[in-house]
Structure 1
């Protein structure tokens, strides 16, 4: 067998006659489908909803476009290279995502880490000692991220071993420390600065990921100018043009197996054979709902899949505003705004706190400020989001529809009222309002409990021992995981990384 000339050429293939069924047309499924059709395989991509995208999708209401999942992504160089591989890079308008930061003590739009430090030092002069120590311990975590960046020159490549050694040093030092505990080393718990800094990332994520979170926010954060749905649509069209079959509004009922090997899927009671089945969807639902023979999983693995925590969901309010683009730009300044009051200390782990959303940090995002065509002429759009406690208030009403609607209406009013204090003019300009709970996100994205990024980022709640690598293999032969759920912390890069790993595996003929 000949070795491929380029180990990163995911279009290479030694066998081109495989029939592949992919479940889920999210970014992972779409990317993999394109790689495999490039290799010459016969690929069918099944999507339960009427449009592709999964968690990288959007929708329109009354002419206003809103994101229905992620707002942005990181690891730009890796993502852009993947799109170049697939010949679609020039069809997708990727742009940097910059943020405005607000609290009762500051309001600014720092463009880099140094400006962010200055913002905090000016806002909290009484915390200078703690901030100085915090910065001293955080900066090595940021610098170690450069070890993961592709070298731009031969000279930089010579430094890779040294950088990797530094990376591993800090990784082992902080891998089991949560960001909450890390922040508590420098600031009084429940103080405004403590409450703010412990939320620079996912709740209770591993502290060694803090450097990556900060690096991303200032140097490696991107979105799509035309909306995430346009990205999914480009990939879907490229897949069709390559001869692939995209079946929308076609939920897979079962993954079929024989003798411990995946052999196809069941659609509307019909058995469709396949040499390879790829689940580009939620890990839990793959094995707890779709697998036709659950006994293929060892009992301890079954329990682990069922009980491992997922990443936190969010609640989002969608607003269509009768405010012209130019005026709204003056109000919001940037499309993305992060607000943290700091003084309340909302506990995301308290699912019984009825007043949680009165205290939670807010994310404001305006698709129309990113692109005026994403709203009707002379109007603007706004999304108001807050991280939600896991299964808040008996999982949003305990299955009682009236209680669910009451909670949804109450939280919508709370977030709208809080946003109106930051942007007073929106109160009387609302033309359209809707909202999504974590259960809404689960219904439309398929992610368990509306998870925003696969499994929990808490180092003490791991599913995978290695939190970064893509784990595409499963206990069932010829069944792979091709979504963000292949890695602990998921995300767009996780989904694309899984797609590339599967493409490489199938392309090698092994």
Structure 2
């Protein structure tokens, strides 16, 4: 991937070794922390092991097409837009709504409101008539969580409001949405337990259970799985690609006097009296600070950067054996095809479920044709932003969840890795061609990124993209 745009401005001042705060990691969390610290007058150093900022907030250009290498859209969640606004970056980033649709049995259903979710469940009823009653029970719970989140996502978080407006904004929110609080007890009951067992109590057809569960990671909570139907309405995309967000934050850090070090892997957190007081880089360089913020892979931060004796024995053992989340397999396609010919009903973010059988939890580890069957997340950056692809052409990013251990593991020998990557890419394209007939003939170029790519670029354990499993 190319060097991060503007990275030449991200070098630290030579000779300086003492700061008020050091931030390990220039992903979104680290950059946001650094931006607020620097804005508040602190001297800040950000150390990033990669050659570019952003972590999973990553975009790059290839042959005139922009592709996103990590996440494909962002959710506001009542936090992102206010944060960018407080830092004066909202207009610079130019976030635009990113409409979502879900495709099942070849039928596309845009998700723009609760009525569309109800229509999608109606489609499922037509595909699985004996499951009608169970589906309506699930839809009732989806509706309850949807309405609660609909209110919660507009709550005015006090420290993100203009000075002096917090209490007034909260009073107005209570007046408009206070009734939503009556749904809290029901929602609280859905926070316990996992989605797949919950669906198994409501439904009997395993394929239908798979269809409703497979879009989410195994182990997803009931509340998360049902609530995500509302989150589909909360997707945004920057005018110039996902990388625009971390790039704007990095520029805000340096504009406020903060300093950035790229290709600066932290090897050790320096302790004094049991407190973090600096870092040592892999090069041997040392930097001191009153505060150290570890905005990086948590397992590595607590098991590799500090002494074993720092953590309670029981907690350290639990942390060492905790499973990280799933990873992702990405395909990047440059198509000789105008984006409007894809007929996505204006949606630039699609979830494509290839068949009615669905994927089970064990399929994610050992199913031979897994990538021919797994749901695909399809992103079309240029659909509403034509400058992100050559005229009359389309750049597609097609993603699928996968385990680090799939097919014998992505960390295998070079020959094993190459064969696994090639097989997975072939299956993904063949599956997508069922949705886009003649796709293969329109591909100008294609390439893939695997969980090993994610692990290499971000230093995340096992290429994890969502923290813990």
TM-score (norm 1): 0.80
Q: Distance in 1 between matches of 2:347 and 2:172?
A: 38
Q: Distance in 1 between matches of 2:170 and 2:287?
A: 49
Q: What is the SS of the residue equivalent to 1:439? A: helix
Relative distance call for 1:98 and 1:161 in structure 2 (3 A) is closer
Q: Is 1:304 matched up with 2:318?
A: yes
Give the equivalent residue in structure 1 for 2:419.
Answer: 406
* Cα drift, residue 183 of structure 1: 1.6
Give the equivalent residue in structure 1 for 2:155.
Answer: 150
* Cα drift, residue 378 of structure 1: 3.1
- Match of residue 254, structure 2, among 234, 240, 247: 240
Cα deviation 1:211-235 (Å, max 9, x = unaligned): 43111113x2222231111111111
Q: Distance in 1 between matches of 2:345 and 2:417?
A: 31
Give the equivalent residue in structure 2 for 1:337.
Answer: 350
Please give the residue correspondences for 1:340-379 in structure 2 after superposition, counting only pairs within 5 Å: 340-350=353-363, 351-379=365-393
Q: Distance in 2 between matches of 1:423 and 1:231?
A: 31
Give the equivalent residue in structure 1 for 2:165.
Answer: none
Q: Distance in 2 between matches of 1:198 and 1:51?
A: 35
Q: Is 1:212 matched up with 2:227?
A: yes
Cα deviation 1:100-122 (Å, max 9, x = unaligned): 22121632223212122123314
Q: What is the SS of the residue equivalent to 2:78? A: helix
Q: Distance in 2 between matches of 1:347 and 1:307?
A: 24
Q: Distance in 1 between matches of 2:217 and 2:75?
A: 14
Q: Is 1:185 matched up with 2:201?
A: yes
Relative distance call for 1:56 and 1:124 in structure 2 (3 A) is same
Please give the residue correspondences for 1:332-481 in structure 2 after superposition, counting only pairs within 5 Å: 333-350=346-363, 351-396=365-410, 399-456=412-469
Q: Distance in 1 between matches of 2:53 and 2:267?
A: 18
Q: What is the SS of the residue equivalent to 1:318? A: strand
* Cα drift, residue 387 of structure 1: 1.0
Q: What is the SS of the residue equivalent to 1:414? A: helix
Give the equivalent residue in structure 1 for 2:48.
Answer: 47
* Cα drift, residue 39 of structure 1: 0.9
CA contact (8 A) 2:25 2:47 kept: yes
CA contact (8 A) 1:19 1:276 kept: yes
CA contact (8 A) 1:141 1:210 kept: no
CA contact (8 A) 1:174 1:208 kept: yes
CA contact (8 A) 1:331 1:423 kept: no
Q: Is 1:278 matched up with 2:293?
A: yes
Give structure 1 stretches of 5+ with no counterpart.
1-16, 457-510
Q: Which segment is superposed worse, 316-325 or 145-154?
A: 145-154
* Cα drift, residue 319 of structure 1: 1.0
Give structure 2 stretches of 5+ with no counterpart.
1-17, 157-168
Please give the residue correspondences for 1:1-40 in structure 2 after superposition, counting only pairs within 5 Å: 19-40=20-41
Q: Is 1:129 matched up with 2:133?
A: yes
Q: Distance in 2 between matches of 1:414 and 1:103?
A: 18
Q: What is the SS of the residue equivalent to 2:88? A: coil
Give the equivalent residue in structure 2 for 1:174.
Answer: 190
Relative distance call for 1:150 and 1:85 in structure 2 (3 A) is same
Q: What is the SS of the residue equivalent to 2:74? A: coil
Q: What is the SS of the residue equivalent to 1:265? A: strand
* Cα drift, residue 308 of structure 1: 1.3
Q: What is the SS of the residue equivalent to 1:66? A: strand
Q: Distance in 2 between matches of 1:421 and 1:342?
A: 10
Q: Distance in 2 between matches of 1:348 and 1:370?
A: 36
Give the equivalent residue in structure 1 for 2:242.
Answer: 228
Runs of 4+ in 1 over 3 A off after TM superposition: 151-156, 158-166, 199-202, 324-328, 330-333
Q: What is the SS of the residue equivalent to 2:220? A: coil
Relative distance call for 1:300 and 1:444 in structure 2 (3 A) is same
Q: Distance in 2 between matches of 1:344 and 1:322?
A: 32
Q: What is the SS of the residue equivalent to 1:240? A: helix
Q: How many residues align?
A: 434
Q: Which segment is superposed worse, 275-284 or 181-190?
A: 181-190
Cα deviation 1:385-414 (Å, max 9, x = unaligned): 111134212222x53111001100110010
* Cα drift, residue 171 of structure 1: 4.3
Give the equivalent residue in structure 2 for 1:98.
Answer: 99
Cα deviation 1:318-353 (Å, max 9, x = unaligned): 11122234445x468532111113422322444122
Cα deviation 1:74-131 (Å, max 9, x = unaligned): 2343211111111111111111121222121632223212122123314533243222
* Cα drift, residue 59 of structure 1: 1.6
